[in-house]
Amino acid sequence: MRLMLLCSLTALCSAVQAAPVLYDGGLPDLRQGYVSDYHDPGGTRAEVADRFGAAAPGHVAVPRTLRWWGGYLFGDGAPAGDLFSVRLWSDSLPAPTGEPLHAKSFYPANPVSRTATGQFLVTATGEQGAQIYEYAVQVGEQWTLAPGSAYWLAIQNDTTGDDDSWFWATSHATAGAATWREHYGSWGSLQASMAFQIEFDDPDAPPASVPEPHSLTLLGGGLAALWFTARRRMQERHVQGRARHP
C-alpha cells in the first residue's frame, strides 16, 4: 500500500512541472545596475539591452514568462506602478540595429508583477544602496526564438510623474555584452551582463499529463487506507502500553 501510494504521489507531482528556462542570465550580483528609464531626472531617456543566446531546446521555442531584477534611484522607493516596455532584436554586432522583431509595452491592462527581494545593492565601501525587486510578466505573444541564435533584449521602464529612475541590475554572469544608449541614439558598450531569465513553452513537447479521475480516486483511496492503518497501529500501541503499565 505504501508503495502504491508513493507511486501515485510521484505521478501526480510529475504532472505539474515548472516551465523550462530558455535563458538564464543569472541573479543580480548586488554590485551595480544601469538606468533604463524613458523618464530620468537627468533627461537622458536611457535604454539598456543585453545579448543572449537561445540555448535550448533543439528547435523553435515560444517564450512564456520574462523575469528580471532591478530597482529605483533618486526617489523615495518604488512608484505606485511600472510602465515597462520590452523590445527584441535579431542578432547584430556590436549592438542592436534596425527595427526590433517584437516590441511590447506592459501597461496597467497587463501589469508586470513586482516583488521586493529583501536584497540591496552594496556600495564599494560596504554601504547599503537601493533595494532590488524581482519583476515578471507573461509575454502573451508568440515570440518564437530559433535554437542556437542570438538576440538582443531591451527592458525599459517609464517612471514619468515620479522622482525615481529605474535601473536594471547586473548579474553574476561573466561574459558581459550589454549595451546602453541615450535618447535612442548610438549604442555604447557596458561590459556587463544583466539579470534576467526567460521561461518558455515547448511546441514540440507532449502535453503535460493531467491525472485522470480513476488516478485521483486511487490516490484518495491510498491516503485513506494509510490513515486507517496508522490509526489502528496507534490504538494497538496504546493498548499494549496500558497493559504494561496498569
- The pTM assigned to this predicted structure is 0.72
The residues near 205 (Cβ < 8 Å, ≥ 6 apart) are 57
pLDDT tens digits for range 95-126: 999 999 999 998 776 789 999 999 999 988 88
- Region 17-24: what's the mean pLDDT? 70
- Cell numbers 497501529: residue: 233
Give how far Cα 142 sits from Cα of 107, 184, 204, Å.
Answer: 19, 26, 15
Strand pairing report for 46-53 and 150-156: antiparallel
Task: Compare 179 and 237 and report the one with higher pLDDT.
Answer: 179
Specify burial of residue 24 (Cβ count, 10 A radius: 0-12, 13-18, 19+). Answer: middle
